[in-house]
Each structure stands twice: as C-alpha cells, then as structure tokens.
Amino acid sequence: MKIQTVEIEGFGPYKERQRIDWPANGVLAIHGENGRGKTTLFNAIRYAFTGYVKNRRHQNIDLAKMVNRHNVEEGRYGFEVKLTLEDDGNTYAITRSLQPMSESVRPESEMDYDEQLFVERNSDQIPSDQAQDAVSSLLPESISRFFFFDGELLAEYERLVDPEEKEGHRIKKEIESILGLPVLEELRGHMKLLSEKAAKQYTRLAAADSKTQQVADGLRDAQETVGRLEESIAKREGKLADVEAGIVDVEERVRKFGARGEQVGQKRAKEGHLKQAREQRERTVQRCHEILRDAWRCKLHGHASRRIMELKAEVGEGAKIGQAQRLAQELLTDGDLIGKECPVCSMQFNSATIGNVKHLAEEDVGDVTKKLAEIDTWEKMVVTQPGLAQQVIGDVHDQRLQVALLEEELKELEANLADFSEDSYDEANRNLRSMYSERETLQKAIIEERRVLKQEQDSMEMFMRALKKMTGAGAHQLVAAEAEMNHYKSLSAMIQSLIDAYRERLKENVQQAASEFFAEISNEEDFAALKINDNYGMEILHKDGTIVDMRSAGFEQVVAVSLIAALHKNAPFQGPVVMDTFLGRLDKMHSSRLLEHLPQITAQAALLVHSNEVLPEELHEHVGPALKSELEITRQRHGECAIVKRGAEP
C-alpha cells in the first residue's frame, strides 16, 4: 500500500484545506517546531484509517476537540480528512469526516456529531456498510501501530523483553498478526470443527449397530461433555483475556495517577496519624486536669513523707508487741502457769515471770489500725509527685505541637490534591481489586475444567479403543468413518505442527533481520546478535555468549527500532511508515544511522521532525537521495497552521 495524497480541513490547527502530495518512494520530511501541529497531522492520517484520535497517553480524545477553534468561532463545525492511496493495483479514496448532527444545536462533544466514511475503489463507491471493512482490509487496526508510530510505541516494546509482562502477550498477537499467522490459526479452527464432525459421524454409525451401541453411547456422552467443556474453557479464556487486558489498562491508569496517587495514600495515613494524635492529646489533657486539681498537695510532700515513715516504723514496732501480747493473753487463758514451760524461751515460769506475762497481757500497745489509717490518709494526700504536673504539661505541649504539625502537613497534601479526583483514583483501585479477584476465579475455574476435560478425553480414547476391537471387517461404513476421522486428526495435528514451525521460522527471520539492522545502526564491537524471546522481545547477545543485562534507555530504543525494521522486512504487508517526533529519543549517532538506513525499513516513509531532533542539513546528509520531498508546517496565527513546501513563502 502506498499513500498518494493527504487532504485535511478543519482538523486541529489546519483550518483551511491542506494537501500533501506523497512521493511514491523514499522519504517525505515534514518539519515543524513544537506546537505547530505535527502530531495533529499524524493523528489526522491515522484517524482516516481508524476513526479515532489518541493522545500521548494513548487515550481516545473526544473528536469534538479536534475541530478547528477559529472555525468554531465562525460557526463552522466539523472536519474532514481525505486519503488517496494505491494498493494491489487498485486506487482508493478514503474520506472520513465529522459533521454536526443538527444544524440548530451547537455541538459541544463528539456525541453531537455524526461521522461519515466514504470509500471509493477505482472511482467506484463502496457501499457504506462495507466501507469500514474495506479500510480495515487496507490497514488492519491491530497492525496499524507498526506503520504509525511515535516514541510511545518504542516504550511499549520494552515490555516485550519481559516474558511475564501481560501487555507483551497482546503485542505478540499483534506482531503475529502483521506476520500473517492468523490465517493458519483460522485453518486450525476449521480443522478442529471438521474433526469433531467426523468423530460424531463415526459415533452415530457405531450407535446404529446393536453390538457396538452401548460403547458408542458412552463415546457420544464423552464427546458431548468434551465439546461442552472446550466451549466453556474457550469462553472463560476469552473472558480472562478481556479481564487481563482490562487489568493492564487500569494498572496503567493507576500508574498514571503517579505521585498524586501516592499522595492520596500519604494523606490518608496522615489523617489516621492525626486522629490518633488528637485522641492521645485529649487523654493527656484530661490527665493533666486531674493532676492539677490535686497539685496543691505537692506542698505537703516533705512533711507527709516524714510522717509516713514514722508511722510505718511505729506500726512495725507495735505489730511485734501486739504479737507478744496475744501470746501472753493465750498463756493466761490456759490457767495457772506455775511449773509450765515458756513456749518462747523454754524456761519454767515463776512468780516473777508470770507477773511480766500478766503485765504484758494488759499493756496498752497503741492502736495499729488507727496508725494504718493515718498512713493511708497521708499517702493519698501526697499521691501527686512533685514534678509530675510539669511533665504532663510538657507532654500536652508536645502533643499539641505534633497535632499542629500533622494538621499543617495534611493541609498541604489537601491543597496539592485539590484538583485531583480521589473518587477516580479510588474507583480505579476498586476496579483493579475486583478484576484481580475475577481473574483468580476464572483461572481456578479453567484449571478445574481442564482437569475434567482430560478425564473425559481419556474416556473418549478408551471408548474408541473398545469400539475398534469390536468393529468387524464387514462393517465397511464404520471402518470408512474411522479412517476419515483419523484423517482429520492427522490434518489437525499437521496444522498445529505447521503453526509451530511457521512461528519458529518467522521468529528466526525476525531475529536475523533485527540483528543485522541492529549491527548496522549500533556499531557495537562486542555485539554478537539479538536474541528473540517468545513474545518477540529482543535481548542483546554479547560476543562471549552472555545476555547484556543492563541496557540504557537509548539502547532499548535502538533495539525496538531494529525489531520494527525486522517486522517490516518479514511482513507480507508492505505499507508507508509515519514516524512522529521519533528521533529525539535517540542520540545523534544512532539517529543519523537510523536516517541512513530508513529506506531499508520501508519504501515510503514520512518523518515528522523538529529542528532539535535533526537539523535540515543533517537530514539531507544522512537520508541522501532518498529524501524526496520536504514540507514545513508554518504558523498563520494562533490556532491556525498551514503546510507548505519547505523554503517557500508562507
């Protein structure tokens, strides 16, 4: 496919109709400083093919935003992009436009517009219901990114190197799509259907014979269960693929919340800390009030401590005397003590010692209970230690300060997040959690169904073997049906082997072509080859046979460019390549080498460049005679640009 012309009107800054005549071969360079409309031009061409416009974060843009603002001021709404191209000997004209749905209502968003697509093949109008299919067959959307690419695409390729990266599997499918693998996968699908049909026919014939009917019934049941399980697994796998794609998108969205998302987490942690700090401060203030209520008692502390010590000593002494008195009283209740032995000193009592005992029994040793009560009173009175009040007041002060600091920090975070939708952030995280859970449920269900499927397939084999033994040579129809069934089985297995072999061959070819391109562009002495993984990710192989682990960002881009070049070399579909502000990601040496080798990637290339990426004279030097045409995007006024021949007067 080759683009012949591009016409744009009312799209972005292109207020008036602009026309680009595309050279049939070689490189078209379109110069433009930042903000002139290079990416808008890129988007306009892509829009003609796909019907959507994406921003740098690969999100769809409301098409109403692409309408030229001066036209809107003048009451002219809508835009049009027209491409003419040549493909396979046919000429196509694709016109995609956006027109207001109603003349009486001022359109505000995409919903207020109608999109119209007209496609002509060799000047014959293609019916409108087939127009999009016709465009898709010219450039399928799944592979369009290999023809229209910017720096973002290169960043995506880095993910291919990681075999665990889910996004890598999606890109792998797209790569295999550009390399033509789906045709074999379709064929495999058909072989499977025909194989199943032949197996059912065989079972029907076996069931018609009374000798084999019972086994055939078992086989039919197993076949039906296998069919149901396969269908269910396929559905679940489809759903799983959707969920995984959704996870990739939402993870990307959450990632894009970036630092602001982290700040939401910080803010919530801070709110928790603040709540705790406030509660602690309240408790300490309460305690402080209680302490201050009795603070006057500190004045009594010295006197009270001394009195408590005295009383404790007295209580101790009194207790000893009290014990002896109780003993004396017990001895006296036992009757006459004359001639008895003292239980303390073992001496015999005499009249003198009995007199002592009587004296002791009657002696007033003071009221211990009263003293204990006094100790208690004093202790309660001096419970507040000196210095405690100051310490707690200090704690209150510290905690108030901490609360104030936290409030300040929180205020700052809240100010940072003032225009940030926490609801969207929460919703994205909620979605993500729900999708993780759904993925896990689906994975478990698939594992279980596969286990049962295996059992049922084994049963089928068993019934088949049994039927084979039972089938006599006379059962011609059954023998023929079995042969047919086996034939389909062989064909199915062959197609699977063909897919495996073809995929390996493609990978080898891509690896070889990418290695050659990389060698030419990078000029690395220690470079041996690029090694392709299952996802078509590329690793750099050192001369000593080891994989180069640490690759600079610039090198990643060179590897990615090499992969793109290799895909174009091996793809059965050849088309124009449009690169938007792409060279800025490479250093001077690599970008100049890429320019030199650009004609090797594609026969028809367009470069949208600004002077910081490459100077016009450098472009001439490196692209050489392959540079066929140079245009420039010039500014007419704010919000309006024109595309002119480079060097021409605007």
Partner 1 sequence: MKTRIDLETMKDEAKRVVARMYPELDQGLVADLLDIQAANLQSPRHDTAIELEKRIKQGLRA
Return residues touching partner 1 (CB under 8 A). 133, 136-137, 140, 142, 177, 180, 182-184, 186-187, 189-191, 193-194, 197, 483-484, 487-488, 490-491, 493-494, 497-498, 501-502, 505, 571-573
99 has which bridge partners? 114
Q: CB of residue 502 vs partner 1: minimum separation in angstroms?
A: 5
Q: CB of residue 27 vs partner 1: minimum separation in angstroms?
A: 23
Nearer Cβ to partner 1 (55/490):
490
Nearer Cβ to partner 1 (114/186):
186
54 has which bridge partners? 60
Residues 6+ apart with CB under 8 A from 289: none
Q: CB of residue 572 vs partner 1: minimum separation in angstroms?
A: 4
Nearer Cβ to partner 1 (182/355):
182
How many Cα atoms are found within 13 Å in the side-chain-facing hemisphere of 414? 8
Nearer Cβ to partner 1 (87/516):
87
Q: CB of residue 461 vs partner 1: minimum separation in angstroms?
A: 20
Q: CB of residue 569 vs partner 1: minimum separation in angstroms?
A: 12
Nearer Cβ to partner 1 (113/488):
488
Return the DSSP state at 61. Answer: P
How far apart, in Å, are the Cα atoms of 621 and each of 158, 455, 521, 551, 593?
A: 30, 68, 16, 29, 11
Query: CB–CB of 643/631 below 8 Å?
Result: yes
Q: CB of residue 203 vs partner 1: minimum separation in angstroms?
A: 18
d(CA 384, CA 287): 12
Q: CB of residue 406 vs partner 1: minimum separation in angstroms?
A: 58
Nearer Cβ to partner 1 (489/610):
489
Cα angle at 293 between 291 and 297, to 5 degrees?
80
* Nearest 10 degrees: Cα torsion 450, 452, 457, 458: 120
Query: CB–CB of 265/416 below 8 Å?
Result: no
Q: CB of residue 265 vs partner 1: minimum separation in angstroms?
A: 43
2 has which bridge partners? 86
Query: CB–CB of 78/113 below 8 Å?
Result: yes
Interstrand relation of 26-31 and 577-580 (parallel, antiparallel or unpaired): unpaired
Interstrand relation of 26-31 and 604-609 (parallel, antiparallel or unpaired): parallel
Query: CB–CB of 597/520 below 8 Å?
Result: yes
Q: CB of residue 239 vs partner 1: minimum separation in angstroms?
A: 21
Nearer Cβ to partner 1 (16/484):
484
Helix (H, G, I), strand (E, B) or coil at 598: helix
Q: CB of residue 199 vs partner 1: minimum separation in angstroms?
A: 14
606 has which bridge partners? 28, 578
The tokens for 301 are 């502390």
Q: CB of residue 46 vs partner 1: minimum separation in angstroms?
A: 17
Q: CB of residue 55 vs partner 1: minimum separation in angstroms?
A: 25
How far apart, in Å, are the Cα atoms of 100 and each of 13, 75, 111, 117, 128?
A: 19, 11, 9, 14, 19
Nearest CA among 263, 192, 117, 172 for reference residue 485: 192
Q: Which residue has the tokens 């460049």?
A: 609
Nearer Cβ to partner 1 (103/129):
129
Q: Which residue has the tokens 């310490």?
A: 391
Nearer Cβ to partner 1 (121/166):
121
Nearer Cβ to partner 1 (15/507):
507
Nearer Cβ to partner 1 (189/584):
189
d(CA 528, CA 519): 8
Q: CB of residue 7 vs partner 1: minimum separation in angstroms?
A: 25
Query: CB–CB of 608/39 below 8 Å?
Result: yes
Nearer Cβ to partner 1 (474/572):
572
How many Cα atoms are found within 13 Å in the side-chain-facing hemisphere of 112? 14
Nearer Cβ to partner 1 (137/421):
137
Q: CB of residue 181 vs partner 1: minimum separation in angstroms?
A: 8
149 has which bridge partners? 579
Q: CB of residue 565 vs partner 1: minimum separation in angstroms?
A: 17
Residues 6+ apart with CB under 8 A from 628: 23, 25, 26, 27, 28
How far apart, in Å, are the Cα atoms of 451 and each of 93, 234, 445?
A: 53, 14, 10
Nearest CA among 5, 30, 147 for reference residue 628: 30
d(CA 526, CA 622): 25
Nearer Cβ to partner 1 (420/573):
573
Nearer Cβ to partner 1 (23/140):
140
Interstrand relation of 90-100 and 113-121 (parallel, antiparallel or unpaired): antiparallel
d(CA 522, CA 268): 49
Cα angle at 419 between 414 and 425, to 5 degrees?
85
Nearer Cβ to partner 1 (119/243):
119
Q: CB of residue 234 vs partner 1: minimum separation in angstroms?
A: 14
